[in-house]
Each structure stands twice: as C-alpha cells, then as structure tokens.
Amino acid sequence: MDLLNTLVDKGLRRELPTREEALAVLATSDDDLLDVVAAAGKVRRHWFGRRVKLNYLVNLKSGLCPEDCSYCSQRLGSTAGILKYTWLKPEEASDAAAAGLAGGAKRVCLVASGRGPTDRDVDRVSETIKAIKDQNEGVEVCACLGLLSDGQAERLREAGADAYNHNLNTSEATYGDITSTHTYADRVDTVHKAHAAGLSACSGLIAGMGESDEDLVDVVFSLRELDPDSVPVNFLIPFEGTPLAKEWNLTPQRCLRILAMVRFVCPDVEVRIAGGREVHLRTMQPLALHLANSIFLGDYLTSEGQAGKADLEMIADAGFEVEGAGEVTLPEHRAAAGSGCGSHARTGCGSHGEAECGTHAEAGCGAHEGGGVCGTAAAAASAPAAAADQPRTDLVAVRRRGAGTDLAPNA
C-alpha cells in the first residue's frame, strides 16, 4: 500500500505526515489492519527496538475533585463507587511505589485529583519524591497534579521530579463538550510550564469519547507541536456514574489504528498504551506492543488493571523485553535535547498518563482511570462470551486494593 510505504519513510526521517495521510490510517479497513500494524511497527522498532518501558501509578489522593470532566470517575457529581481518601503520607506512597518497582517498573507516576496543587500540596509531593528516591536509586518520578501555577514546576524539579504529565485529552474544538471548569488553553499552558522548568513533558489523549477522526488527528497534531517526550494514549472506560457511561464505541481494531496513527505522527516519542487497554484491546494487546513502547504495570487510579505477572508474560510471549533501569528510553537525538528523567537525560514521561482528575484528566500520567479489568486476566476468561458489538462492562472493576487500602497492590 503506497500510503503505508510513504508513512514508514516519513517516520524514519521524523517527517510529519499530512493530515490527509493521518486520517487515511484511521479509515483503513480491518482487512488491512495487519499491514498497518506492520508498517507502524517498523517505525517503532527503528527508534525503540523491542524494548517496553514499564510505569507504575500511585494515586496520592482519590476522588473529591471540584472539576467536571465528563470522563472522570473522580469528577464533581460522580456517583461511581470509587475509593475516596485524602493525601497519602510520604512513607505510604513510597511503600506503594516499591511494589511497582519490584515488578520491573522504572518510572513511578504520582497522581492527585483536583484542579491543581496548592503550594502546600507541592511541599507534600516534594517530600514524597524524596522518600521514593531515598529508597530507590535511579528511579524516575513523574508528577501529575493538575494545572500548575507560576513557579510550581520549578519547585517540583528542584525536589527531584523528572517529568510532569498533563494531557490534552481531545481536540481544542471539542474540549468544551467534555469539561466546563477549565479550558484547553489552560492545559497547554501547564505543558509549557513543565517544559520551561526543565521537566520532561508528558501529554496525551483519551480516545472513545464520541470524537470524530478529525478530532483525533487534531489532538495528535497538537501534541506533536507541543513536543512532549511521552504521549500516553488512553481508551475511555465508560464508568457507571459518569456522563460518558454509555459511550462504548471502541473496538480492538480501531484502538490499533489509533495507536498506529499516533506512532506515524510522533515516530520518535515514547508512545504509551495507558488506561483502557485491557477493556478495549483485550486479547489483541500483544499486537499493540508493535506500536507503543510503554505501558502501565498493574492497577490504575480508581480501577483495577491486568495482573502485573500477566503483563510481564505478555511482553515476553510477544517477543519484546522490559526496558532496564539503566537504559535511556528516548532516541539519542531527543535524549540529548534536554534534561529529564533518571540519568538526567530526557527520557519521557514513561504514561496515564493517565488518570488525572479534574484539570489533569483522569488519565493520570497517562492512565485514564477507568482502564481496569476485573483484577486478573483469569477474571475475563471466566466471564461469559460477549458478542463483538456488545459493551464489555464485565471488564471494569473499581480498585479496592493498593494505595488507600490495607490490601497489597497489584504489580
């Protein structure tokens, strides 16, 4: 297919596709799907080999958000039965992070619901960053706290944060349809603040909220212009008790096409499969590893994810390998362009984001909160078979373990 040959050539040269080419990827048929995956996979392997970066979410403060983001179970007015708790103590957050790091994660993403942090909140998070780094040499830490005020990004950087996540979520033209309590421009401003402070910027999207192909292309092109190191791709989980509870319009095939389009537009950037992969990609998750080079390990913010052991087995069975703590995520030309994570090379946000609430979207660090499967892959296997066009509500489970509970986390 001439289109795919052209896109591979452009991806290897880091050349931006045309809008028409990006739209054409989303319009390809299921018959052409494996060709699309193979083409985008060439671009992914050129820049990232067969490495998969693992990231781990710690929900520092759950629920009780004053923002009205339609996709978010932590939003103002949500009736979703999620865990609700105030700030974890630094040692509690460090203990939660340790589970993910023991499972192979190289980045910890610290997320808190709310419009944005107060200066006291920045102090809390700074103490948490120190506690985690004191116990885990070389760990990368990404903060996801909402809209930043002047000087807060610099304070987080001084405290040891390597990255900051703040997702655009959808196109500027449709942003007002999902949130009224802040603007698209507010989000862009926070990404700029993170960049300016020397933090590795992480910013992505949520697909499946009723947007058009044009909206998807618009937001990905906007992300390319913002030039984050990491682009988390979340797939909406229509959480009961939220305004988008009935938006079940994604298929595994469409998710793969979206990931391929993102890879072609952002060829040398860390593309992370964030919330919703278990629910919407399901048994086709291994194919998505040919497109993205980063995932979250274990649970998300307010929902449960695939068992960490199943994630590791999937990566190995698909012929990929977990990225080591000493490896730099980004290609050399990007890593040398700024100061960022880990070894102070710009290694990307590593995803949610994920599930930010309020102004930092419920995809904190790239992990859209609803990205859960019923605890383990075994739960899905024991569920009755569902028709291909039926919502898989059986794959969504509220998180009842890990941070904010007395039960061990999933990692």
69 is catalytic: yes
Q: What is residue 88's DSSP assignment?
A: P
Please tell me the predicted confidence (pLDDT) of residue 75.
78
Contact 272, 105 (CB under 8 A): no
Residues flagged as binding site for [4Fe-4S] cluster: 65, 69, 72
142 is catalytic: yes
Please tell me the predicted confidence (pLDDT) of residue 411.
82
Report the b/e string of 173-184 with b at 16+ CB within 10 A. ebbeebbeebeb
Contacts of 203 (CB under 8 A, 6+ apart): 165, 166, 167, 168, 187, 191, 223, 226, 228, 230, 231, 349
Domains and CATH numbers, the chain: 2-395 (3.20.20.70)
Residues flagged as binding site: 65, 69, 72, 109, 142, 202, 272
202 is catalytic: yes
Q: What is residue 60's DSSP assignment?
A: E
Please tell me the predicted confidence (pLDDT) of residue 388.
63
- Which position has the token pair 């490495």? 51
Please tell me the predicted confidence (pLDDT) of residue 84.
86
Please tell me the predicted confidence (pLDDT) of residue 240.
84
Per annotation, catalytic residue among 72, 255, 266, 341: 72
CA distance 213 to 102: 39
Contacts of 56 (CB under 8 A, 6+ apart): 97, 99, 100, 101, 103, 105, 107, 108, 109, 296, 297, 298, 411
Per annotation, catalytic residue among 44, 144, 202, 266: 202
Q: How many CB atoms lie within 10 A of CB 243?
A: 18
Extract the residue ranges of the chain whose pLDDT is less than 70. Answer: 338-388
Q: What kind and span of H or E run contains 8?
A: helix 2-13
255 is catalytic: no
Per annotation, catalytic residue among 44, 69, 124, 254: 69
Please tell me the predicted confidence (pLDDT) of residue 385.
55
Per annotation, catalytic residue among 65, 266, 349, 374: 65
Please tell me the predicted confidence (pLDDT) of residue 357.
40
Chain Cα centroid distance, residue 141: 14
Convert the pLDDT of each residue in 272-302 to its tens digit.
999 999 999 999 999 999 999 999 998 888 7
Residues flagged as binding site for [2Fe-2S] cluster: 109, 142, 202, 272
Contacts of 364 (CB under 8 A, 6+ apart): 57, 59, 109, 111, 144, 165, 300, 301, 352, 353, 354, 355, 356, 357
Per annotation, catalytic residue among 75, 115, 142, 255: 142
- What are the phi and psi torsion angles at 319 (to 5°)? 85, 20
Please tell me the predicted confidence (pLDDT) of residue 300.
83
Convert the pLDDT of each residue in 142-165 to its tens digit.
999 999 999 999 999 999 999 999
Beta bridge partners of 364: 354, 367
Contact 187, 205 (CB under 8 A): no
Contacts of 381 (CB under 8 A, 6+ apart): none
Per annotation, catalytic residue among 75, 109, 115, 263: 109
Please tell me the predicted confidence (pLDDT) of residue 4.
98
